[in-house]
Amino acid sequence: MIENKYLGKQINLEELLSKHKIDVTLEQIKKMYNHHSKFYHNFAHIEHLLSIVEIEDDKLVIAILFHDIMFDVKCDNHEKASAEFFKTHCFGEHDFKAKVYDLIMATENIGYKGDSLTKEIIRVDRLILHKTDINSLLTWEHNIFSEHQYLPIKEYKKGRVAFLNRAFEETGNNTLLELRDIVAEKVYKIGFYPGSFNPFHIGHYNILMKSEKSFDKVVIGVGVNYDKKDIDKVEIPDMIKNREIVYYNGLITTAIQSLSEHGEVFVVRGLRNAYDLQHEEGLRNVIKDFLPDQEFVYYFCDKEYEHISSSLIRDIQSRGKTSVGFQMTKKYLLE
C-alpha cells in the first residue's frame, strides 16, 4: 500500500494489477526495478511518484508503475521497451491498455501535449528538475552518476552538463545551473582496481564493495595480453557490467595516468593474508619507480573469502569435466 497525501487515500497496487488482468506480480515488478544497477530509477522512485500524483485514475497509476520498468541506462528507448512490456502482460480492456501504453510513451517526449493524465505523468516524472533545494539535487546527481558509472568521467561530465543545460532551458530553474557547475568542476576521487580477474569471483567483489564506500567510483582494470587475444576470453559477470572496465597490457602505469587526467586516482588492492601483503609491497615499489606519487589503498577481504582465488577456481575446473568443475566452483562465481 502506498500513502498518497494529495488524494487522501492508499493505493493498493496488487489490487490494481489483479483488477486490470496484468499477469506480473508486484514482487516481480519490485525485483525488476531494484536491479543492482539502478540507483535512481528504482522502486523507491516509483513509490515516490505514486505518493505525489494528484489525479485519481487507475490508468495513471499503472502507467507510472510500468513507465521505467525496462529502464537501461545504456539504451535510449526504454520508454518504448517499458510500454511494450506492459502491453505484453496486460490482458485487460483494450481502451485501458491503449491509454496506459500512450501515457508511458508520453514520458519519452517532454514537449508532448495531451490531456490531463498525460500532463500529470510528465509533471511527476520530471518534478526533480524543478527542485530548488541544492541538497536534493546533489542526492539526485549522485544516484544518476552511480547509474552511469560505466562511462569514463570525461564522457559522463560532457553528457551531464549538456543535459542540465537543456533542463534549465525547459524549466528556468537556476539551481540546475548551480548543479551543472558543480558537475563540471568536480574532481572525482577514483579507485583503480587492477587484476587479471580470471575469473572475477566473489572475493574480488567483496573488495570492490568495500572500496566503493571510499571513492566516487571504482574503475576495474583487467590485465590482458593483446597478442594472444586474451581480451576475448575475459568473461565479465553481470554484477559488474555497470562499472567502468578498462583493459591494460603489462604494467598498469599507462592506465593510471590516463585515469589521472579526470580525477585523483588511488590504486585499490585486496588482501587475504600476510603473504598477499608481502607480494603487494613488491608491486607497489615497482609502480612507484614509475609513478613516485601514486597512492595505494588496501582492503582485507572478509574472513569467509580468504581461501578463494582465481587460480583455485581454474585448478578445480581443470581437474574435472567442464560441467563438473563449473558446478563445483559455481558458489565462488558471480552471476
Over residues 71-95, the pLDDT tens digits come to 999 888 899 999 999 999 999 999 9
Q: Cα torsion at 285, 290, 293, 299 (round to 10°)?
A: -40
269, 296 contact by CB (below 8 A): yes
- Has residue 227 got a pLDDT over 60? no
53, 61 contact by CB (below 8 A): yes
Res 55: pLDDT: 95
Res 189: pLDDT: 96
The SS3 call for residue 195 is strand
pLDDT digits (tens, 9 = 90+) for 280-289: 888 899 899 9
Q: Rounded to whole angstroms, what are the CA distances from 207 to 225, 287, 323?
A: 24, 21, 28
d(C-alpha 36, C-alpha 48), whole Å:
19
pLDDT digits (tens, 9 = 90+) for 240-250: 999 999 998 86
Res 112: pLDDT: 62
CB atoms within 10 A of CB 164: 23
The SS3 call for residue 271 is strand
User: How much of the chain exceeds pLDDT 70, in percent?
Assistant: 94
| Three cell numbers, residue 11 | 493505493
- Has residue 265 got a pLDDT over 70? yes
**Which CATH code of 3.40.50.620, 3.40.309.10, 3.40.50.1000, 3.40.190.10 fits the domain covering 189-332?**
3.40.50.620
pLDDT digits (tens, 9 = 90+) for 114-154: 899 999 999 999 999 999 999 999 999 999 999 999 999 99
d(C-alpha 145, C-alpha 143), whole Å:
5
- Has residue 319 got a pLDDT over 80? no
Cα-Cα end-to-end distance for the chain: 32
pTM of the prediction? 0.89
Res 334: pLDDT: 83
